[in-house]
Amino acid sequence: MINKLLTLKRQRNAVILAHNYQTGDIQDAADYVGDSLGLSFKAKETNADVILFAGVHFMAETAKIVNPSKRVLIPTLEAGCSLADSCDANALAKWKAEHPGVVVVAYINCTAAVKAQTDIICTSGNAVKVVNSIPRDKQILFCPDENLGQWVMEQTGRKLILWPGVCHVHVKFTAESLAKLRAAHPDAKVVAHPECLPIVRSMADEVCSTEKMLAYCKSSPAKAFLIITESGMLHRLKKELPDKQFFAGPTDTCSCNECEYMKKNTLENCVAALENLAPEIILPEDIRQRALVPIERMMALGR
Ligand code: SF4
């Protein structure tokens, strides 16, 4: 399947972008593996005719928003996101109307229709930088992840009004499940994603985006790490840092934690997408143009 995928990639003049939560075989076949921020830059920069986006729907939409002349494919339309779904564009419009004059900061994990209503986008890798770029006398509405929003409040000392959304994957990590793993590996450093619950974040040595996890584990003198995020991240960590040990964050019922939406993508449906040039991301042009403005503001702040 990998040979077939790479042959089709050449024939279609395609680039394969894969999120850190994709399965190992897809990551290995991809041209670039990264977090939402890195993938957005790669999507904007590519000269390929086709972008096969091995991630979830809002990520492929972002690629189309920043590089509309490309054909953007997603392996399956079933690769959605419960967090993005929690923030409906109409409900956001109502929320904004209740808070006139505010600045709306949206985590990139939202639909194009939601992005189109915001002032600036952020990722978990740059959320603190984005919020710090807004004058301190401005009130901020932050959507859709309240755990990331709370973490940004802790980092910036600013009060944000938070949309009540969560990533159902990251809130499954509990203090009890992490305490058991930590007891089994007392010398390991705990690295947690900011979408985790505050109690879990408080137990971490480092809280950061998936891309920064790699940098942290690389520069740390520690030899073992407990990785409290979606377990696809371990493939990249083990591949790039083979001399270190990584343990997946457990839930109360399982020794690791997968996002079922991310895992809808397979080598088979990646091949089918390039064969059929579908499913393709199509966006209304007015939404795309409005959604581009807050993404470009974020990109202007750098990586
Ligand atoms: S891990 Fe959470 S935020 Fe990421 S795609 Fe899955 S449900 Fe959405």
pLDDT in tens, 121-140: 999 999 999 999 999 999 99
Does residue 84 carry a pLDDT above 90?
Answer: yes
Q: Domain 83-162 maps to which CATH number in 3.30.465.10, 3.40.50.1820, 3.30.420.40, 3.40.50.10800?
A: 3.40.50.10800
Nearest to 250 by CA among 175, 188, 199: 175
Q: Please give the distance, rounded to the nearest whole angstrom, from the Cα atom of residue 266 to the centre of ligand 1.
A: 17
Pocket of ligand 1 (CB under 6 A): 56, 81-83, 109, 167-169, 230, 259, 261-262
**pLDDT at res. 215:** 97
Query: For residue 172, what is the DSSP state?
Result: G
Pocket test for ligand 1, best of 83, 229, 257 (most atoms within 8 A of CB): 83
List the domain boundaries for the chain. Answer: 2-81+262-281, 83-162, 170-248
Q: How many residues does the chain have?
A: 303
Residue with the two structure tokens 């939402």: 36
pLDDT band at 271 (very low <50, low <70, confident <90, very high): very high
pLDDT band at 303 (very low <50, low <70, confident <90, very high): low
Residue nearest atom 1 of ligand 1, based on CA coordinates? 259
* Dihedral of the alpha carbons of 278, 285, 127, 20, in degrees to the nearest 10: 10
User: Fold for domain 2-81+262-281?
Assistant: Rossmann fold (3.40.50)
- Written as one string, the DSSP assignment of 216-266 is HHHH-S-SEEEEES-TTHHHHHHHH-TTSEEEEPP-SS-SS---TTGGG--
The CATH class that applies to domain 170-248 reads alpha beta
Q: Please give the distance, rounded to the nearest whole angstrom, from the Cα atom of residue 237 to the centre of ligand 1.
A: 19
Atom of ligand 1 nearest to the CA of 230: 1
Q: Containing H/E element for 65?
A: helix 57-66
Tens digits of residue pLDDT in 164-196: 999 999 999 999 999 999 999 999 999 999 999
pLDDT band at 85 (very low <50, low <70, confident <90, very high): very high
Q: Please give the distance, rounded to the nearest whole angstrom, from the Cα atom of residue 46 to the centre of ligand 1.
A: 25
**pLDDT at res. 302:** 76
Q: Please give the distance, rounded to the nearest whole angstrom, from the Cα atom of residue 21 to the centre of ligand 1.
A: 9
User: Considering the entire predicted model, what is its pTM?
Assistant: 0.95
Cα gap 16→289, rounded to integer Å: 24
**pLDDT at res. 37:** 84
Atom of ligand 1 nearest to the CA of 260: 6
Q: Please give the distance, rounded to the nearest whole angstrom, from the Cα atom of residue 252 to the centre of ligand 1.
A: 19
3-state SS class at 30: coil
Tens digits of residue pLDDT in 236-264: 999 999 999 999 999 999 999 999 999 99
Strand ranges across the sheet with 245-248: 206-207, 189-192, 224-228, 245-248
Residue nearest atom 5 of ligand 1, based on CA coordinates? 81
Output the average pLDDT for the chain: 97
Q: Please give the distance, rounded to the nearest whole angstrom, from the Cα atom of residue 82 to the centre of ligand 1.
A: 6
